[in-house]
Amino acid sequence: MSLFDKFKEWQFSKGRLEAFSDAVFAIVITLLVLELKIPEIENAKDMHMVWEAILNVLPAFYSWVISFFFVAIMWLHHHQIMHMANQSDYGVIWINNLLLFFICMLPFPTALMGHYHLPVFITVWGVTVSLTSTMLVWLYYYNTKNYLKDSYDKKKVMKNVRLSFFAAPIMYLAGGVLAWVSIYIAFAIYGIIPLLYLLPLDKETRHDTTSEEKD
């Protein structure tokens, strides 16, 4: 018996998992904005100096923006993935904990990328969010394989799961690699990717009368 087969023997409240995850997402998305600092200006009456100081903090602002929307997209799809499942077990718990581990790391590479604008830190950010996306796809796969509601077409959902493994995680890694060519290309890729995931990937094919809860 594999480790995850053992985990399946222990059920866990899906509602409590979602509540805990929502709290972590909310805390992280709040911590991100704390990295934005008002620039220090020697002579605030000199508008040239003011605009120069503002321009100097724009990379930090943009780093916050892309991190904010990354966390928002993760939260949205996490909610959808958990909604698609009819129950939860300890396998889900530990995959979810790994997801939250990388989510909680995000403020650190965001601060590095925003303050130093160096390819190495832009790559570190890309690797971090790529690993975060991978954990979310793993959760997507695990729930689909074991606990997908009857109101979803499992074949179609599994197709989306396979596509997801080669979508966001790979694109974020590509952005990190291209940072060594141009940091502006990397920033553009990081900003575009969330736009591809504004809506959930899967729709219910019929009303699920066995669902434990309404979301």
Question: Could you please report the per-residue DSSP string of 93-145?
Answer: HHHHHHHHHHHHHTHHHHHHHHHH--HHHHHHHHHHHHHHHHHHHHHHHHHHH
Q: What is the pLDDT of residue 4?
A: 65
Percent of the chain with pLDDT strictly greater than 90:
65
pLDDT band at 59 (very low <50, low <70, confident <90, very high): confident
CB 88 within 8 A of CB 11: yes
Q: What is the pLDDT of residue 215?
A: 47
Q: What is the pLDDT of residue 71?
A: 96
Tokens of 200: 């959930």
E strands, the chain, in order:
none
The C-alpha atoms of residue 99 and residue 126 are separated, in whole angstroms, by: 15
**CA nearest 107: which of 191, 30, 207?**
30
Q: What is the pLDDT of residue 77?
A: 95
Indicate whether 210 pLDDT > 60.
no
Weakest-pLDDT range from 49-53, 97-101, 146-150: 49-53
Indicate whether 52 pLDDT > 80.
no
Q: Taking residues 57-81, report their average pLDDT.
A: 92
Q: Taking residues 6-19, report their average pLDDT.
A: 82
Q: What is the pLDDT of residue 1?
A: 59
Mean pLDDT for all residues in the chain: 87
What is the torsion angle, in degrees rounded to the nearest 10, for the CA atoms of residue 159, residue 163, residue 164 and residue 168?
A: -160
pLDDT band at 213 (very low <50, low <70, confident <90, very high): very low
Tokens of 204: 């219910």
Weakest-pLDDT range from 26-40, 97-111, 126-140, 164-178: 26-40
Residue type, 24: V
**CA nearest 58: which of 39, 34, 30, 31?**
39
Q: What is the DSSP letter of 62?
A: H
pTM of the model: 0.86
**CA nearest 189: which of 199, 179, 203?**
179
Indicate whether 41 pLDDT > 80.
no
For the stretch 154-185, pLDDT in tens is 999 999 999 888 889 999 999 999 999 999 99
pLDDT band at 50 (very low <50, low <70, confident <90, very high): low
**58 CB-contact burial (10 Å; exposed 0-12 / middle 13-18 / buried 19+):** exposed
